[in-house]
Amino acid sequence: MTTPSRMPEPYGQGSGANLADILERVLDKGIVIAGDIRINLLDIELLTIKLRLIVASVDKAKEMGIDWWETDPALSSRARRDELTRENAELRERLARLEELEPGRAEKKEAP
């Protein structure tokens, strides 16, 4: 039987919540309001901050064997990802056009 009015004890929150849990919420979520002091956190998005943190301590991270950023797609800039997506779409479109233009080309090629 649960007691609806009672909240369960916090799980891993407060001082125990990991830094990423807190940062992703206070920096990346919540309501965005332009204050009098104009700091655009969208410019300093969490990813950028993470990247900067890593760049600042790259040697230390490498010592610890942390090298995920070299392969982590999340750390490539959003712009770069968009660029790739766009390029992919373009290539697919061109391929489709080519296939339309030359139906049966593949079969011909394979024929002896």
Partner 1 sequence: MTGLRYVYAVCRPFGAPLQVQLTGVAGDPPRTLTHHGLVAVVSHVPERDFAEEPLRRHLEDLDWLTETARAHQGVIDALTTVTTPLPLRLGTVFHDDSGVRIMMEAREEDFRRTLDRLEGRVEWGVKVYAESEPQESVRPAQKPASGRDYLRQRRMQTRSHEEMWQKAEAFSTRLHEVLSAFAEDSRMHPPQNPALSKATGRNVLNAAYLVPRANSEEFVELVDRTKGELPGMRIELTGPWAAYSFAGETT
Give min distance, CB of 100 to partner 1, in A.
Answer: 34
Residues 50 and 46: their CA atoms lie apart, in Å, by 6
Residues that bind partner 1 (CB under 8 A): 2-8, 10-15, 17-33, 35-39, 41, 44, 47, 49-50, 52-54, 56, 61, 66, 68, 72, 74
Nearest distance from residue 83's CB to partner 1, in Å?
Answer: 19
d(CA 106, CA 48): 46
Residue 95: both structure tokens together: 């391929």
- Closest CB to partner 1 among residues 22, 89: 22
Q: How many residues does the chain have?
A: 112
What phi and psi, each to the nearest 5 degrees, are found at residue 65?
80, 15
- Closer of 2 and 108 to partner 1 (Cβ): 2
